[in-house]
Amino acid sequence: MSDPAAAPPPGPAPRFERQARFAPLGVAGQQRLAERRVLIVGCGALGGVLAQWLTRAGVGELVLVDRDVVEETNLPRQVLFTEEHAAAGAPKVTAAAETLASIGGPTRITPHAIHLNADQLLELGAGVDLILDGTDNMATRYLVNDYAVREGVPWIYAGVVSSGGLVLSVQPGEGPCLRCVFPDPPPPGALPTCDTAGVLGPAVGAIASMQAGLALRQLSGAEPASPALIDLDVWSGSARRLSVPRAPACPCCAERRFEFLEGATADDAVSLCGRNTVQVLPPPGAPAPAAELVAANLRAAGIEVLQAGPLLRFTADGNRVTLFPDGRALVEGTEDTSKARAVVARWVGA
C-alpha cells in the first residue's frame, strides 16, 4: 500500500495545465495565483486588458473600481465592452463583470462603481496582494502611490497615449516609487492626452500585457523584476528598459510624506480625459439621493427621465446627466466644471 505522505502534490486544473508548464511559474506558482487578491483601479482600456488576462490566468479575486459608464468611443480599445453596453450607458464595472463572468474559471469578481478617494482606497486596499493601475488620470495614480508606499503594498503603474506608453513596477522599500521618477503631478495641459494625441488599441494592449506579465510574476511568488521604467511603442516597434534608482529626497518613499492620501480632498468636479464630460461629486457626508423623488421632480418639470438599473439619466440645459446611487453625476457635453456643478445643483440639488 502506498504512503499518502509520499504522494506528489496535485497538478493544476486542466484549464491551466499549459500555463503551469511554464517553468518559472510551475504548479506551485499557479496555486499561489489562485490565492491572490488584486485591486484594479479603472477597468476601461488598460484595466479591461488587465482584468481579462488575470481572470484567464486564474487569479483568485479581482476587485474592480471604476467611476465611469460605457460609451461608443470606448469600443475600439476597451476590450470588455460591447455596443449593447454602450447603448445602455452601463457602468463600466458592471459591464466588465458581466464579460469576465462569461469567461468562466475560478476568479471571483468584486465590482465597485465609485470614484476612488482616500477613504475608499483604505477600505478596498486592505488585504490585497497587488494594486494595478488601469486609470487615466495622474491624481488617482499619486493617491495609489501614497497608499502603496505607506502600507507596503506592491503596485504597477502604467500610462498609455498615442502609440505607446510606460510601465513601472513599484516595490515599496526596495525600489523607486512613482514620485522618485515623477516627483510632482504635471500641470494641466503639460502632457499629451488621448484628447490631443489620440490612442491606438494595440498600444493599450501592449502596455497592459506587460503590466499583466509583471503582475503574474509578482503574484506567483517569483522574485520581482529589477526596478525599471519600461517604454514601449507599437508604431515604431521600439522598446526601452530604463534603470531608475530610488530618489534620496523622494517626498513619498524617502521623506514619508503622503499628502495625496492624507492631505487635501479631491476637487468636487473634474473633467474626464477625452470625454467632454465632467464628474461632479456630492458634498462630503451628503446622504444618497432619493432617486424616485429626483425623477418625479424632473418629470414634473417636463424633463424625460430614463431609469437604467440603479442609474438615472436625463438631459437638461443641453447636457446629458447620469446620476449614480452614491450621488455622483456625470455631466456630458461640457468640460466647464462650473457649468457642470450648476446643472447638477439646479436639477438634482446641491
- Beta strands 61-65 and 37-41: pairing type? parallel
Taking the C-alpha atoms of residue 17 and residue 281, their distance in angstroms, rounded to an integer, is 46
Taking the C-alpha atoms of residue 42 and residue 137, their distance in angstroms, rounded to an integer, is 10
Taking the C-alpha atoms of residue 98 and residue 116, their distance in angstroms, rounded to an integer, is 21
Taking the C-alpha atoms of residue 145 and residue 167, their distance in angstroms, rounded to an integer, is 14
Of the residues 180, 194, 252, 253, only one is catalytic, namely 194
Q: Which residues contact 311 (CB under 8 A, 6 or more apart)?
A: 69, 89, 91, 322, 323, 324, 325
Phi, psi torsion values for 206, nearest 5 degrees:
-65, -45
Catalytic site includes residue 194: yes
- Of 199, 210, 209, 208, nearest to 235 by C-alpha is 199
Taking the C-alpha atoms of residue 326 and residue 222, their distance in angstroms, rounded to an integer, is 40
Helix (H, G, I), strand (E, B) or coil at 272: strand
The secondary structure of residue 186, as a DSSP letter, is: P
Residues with a catalytic annotation lie at 194
